[in-house]
Every structure is written in C-alpha cells, then in structure tokens.
Amino acid sequence: MPTQPSHRTALFLMICAATLWSIAGVLTRHLEAARGFEVTFWRSVFAALYVAGALLWQYRAQALRKLQASGRYGLISGAMWAVMFSCFMLALTMTTVANTLIVMSISPLLTAVFARLYLHHAIGLRTWLAIAVATAGILWMFVDGFSHVDARGLAGMLIAFGVPLAASVNFIALKKSGHALDLIPAVLIGGLLSALAMLPLALPLQASAHDMLILATLGVFQLGFPCTLMVRAARSLSAPELSLLALLEVVLGPLWAWLGAGEVPAGATLMGGAVVLTALVFNELAGLRKVRVAS
C-alpha cells in the first residue's frame, strides 16, 4: 500500500509540481525546428521513459504487476493524462502562454463541481471563496491579451479547454481510486497513449539536437517528474485543493516566459497574479489551521 504523506508534505509536493509545470511555455519558445505534434510526441515519449525507469528502479520485477494493478482507474487517469499532455502542447504552439493558461484556470471550478457530483464532497465556503477570488485574479491577468485573439489563437484556446476538463476528471479518478491504489503507472499510460496518438501526425520528425535536449527536459522535469509528485500529493489533498494549487502554473508561466523568452507581461498580469497567490495562500493557511485544530 502506498504511503500517505502528511498534509504539509503533500502541499509542498503540489507546489513543486505546479512550479515545474510552469516552465513549459518558456522552454518551447526556444525550440528551433520541432513544432506542434512533434513537440507533443517527444515530450510524451520522454515522460513515459522517465516514469517507466522510475517504476523499474522502485519495483524491479514487480513493475509490470504494478502497471496491471492500476486497473480501470489507472486507464481512466492515463487517458486523462494523455489528453492533457496532447492538448496543452498543441495549444502552446497556436496561441500565447497567457491565453493557454487562462483557459486552464477554470479547472478549480470544474473540479469543485465534479467533486460535489461524483464524490459527494461538501465544498467548504473558504474553498469556494478562494476559487472565486483566484478566477477573478486570472481574468484580470489576461483581459488585455484576450481581446486581441485571432482565429488561430482562438483555435488554440479551444484545444486548451481539453486540459482543465481532463484535469478535473483526473483529480476525481485519483480520489475515487483510494489510498491503497498506486496511480503513478497511469502517468506512464498517459505518456504512451499521447505518443502513439501524436506519432502519425508528427512525421517527418525534424527536431534538431538542440531541440531534443529541450524536449527531454520538458518530458522529464516539466512532465514526468511533477506528475508523479501530484499523484503522491493527491493522497492527502482534496480534489479542489489540488486544482487550486495547480493554479500556481498559471501565475508562474507568464513570469518565466517574460524572464526567459521576452514575453513581457502587462501590469494587469502582475496584479492579477498577486490576487491569485493571495487566494491560494489564504485557502492553504486556513486548511493547515483546520488540520492543526482537528489534531
């Protein structure tokens, strides 16, 4: 049975995961030849290789059995990871980092609704308030850029909608699977499904050696590793908490794109980001206080 981390540890793991996820935009802006489907293909391949290696290192001869033991929840979670892997990178190649992330920011609201419907969880007032404030902050961040979206950018945003939808379903699957089931193999399933789906569309492969280094970094450090951190964090955090903390990616993504790729954020982006961070800090401090009182 997988170990269940403390609430503090799970909180730290999820912050690390969201921070690593946020580097995708800035790294893709430095690719030379790889584009669109090929970027998604290689990132998924490297993520799958990382998770497969981690499973073999941890479980050795039992790794295949662990993969089979993930069962239907593993398949559901894996399919959702594949949708997220594919839609996110395709959206980034069609629209700005900011526009991609604003669409992703609806995930906490979808997750809260799904948790109420399928997990029968009563969502606390503080969590609803944090979702509302964070959503307002994100809209504030991107309102100027959103008004200048062209047809290609709009198509990219429509594709990006698959990310929060799949993420919300995945959060629910992780919670319904219970603490006894290890769903880290689902990240491997997601990487394999995404790579298989993208390969026919990615041909002919054109990535340079420079691109392959970036794509390997994306697959391992921006995707495979942080996704396994999130799976571990899910054992101790509620579905709405997971999706709220994932908003750190939305806040940090434009920052890294500014520092590393010259995509200068507007003043509204900085102010809106501060509002989002305030909402996240408020929600988690209240949650930690509740845990201390209960103990």
Domain boundaries along the sequence of the chain? 7-294
- In order of 34, 191, 211, 281, the CA distances from 206 in angstroms are 6, 20, 9, 43
d(CA 183, CA 189): 10
d(CA 169, CA 111): 7
Residue 191: pLDDT above 90?
A: yes
* Average confidence score pLDDT of the chain: 81
Higher pLDDT, 134 or 60: 60
Q: What is the mean pLDDT of residues 68-82?
A: 87
Residue 190: pLDDT above 50?
A: yes
Higher pLDDT, 278 or 164: 164
pLDDT of residue 268: 63
pLDDT of residue 288: 54
pLDDT of residue 216: 95
Residue 68: pLDDT above 70?
A: yes
d(CA 1, CA 155): 43
Residue 273: pLDDT above 80?
A: no
Q: What percent of the chain has pLDDT over 70?
A: 84
Residue 237: pLDDT above 70?
A: yes
How wide is the angle at C-alpha 38 spanned by C-alphas 53 and 158, nearest 5°? 105
The pLDDT confidence band at residue 295, using thresholds 50, 70 and 90, is very low
Higher pLDDT, 248 or 48: 48
Most trustworthy range by pLDDT among 36-40, 58-62, 181-185: 36-40
208's tokens? 């340079």
118 Cβ contact list (under 8 Å, min separation 6)? 172, 176
pTM: 0.78
Q: What is the mean pLDDT of residues 88-98?
A: 78
Q: What is the mean pLDDT of residues 218-241?
A: 89
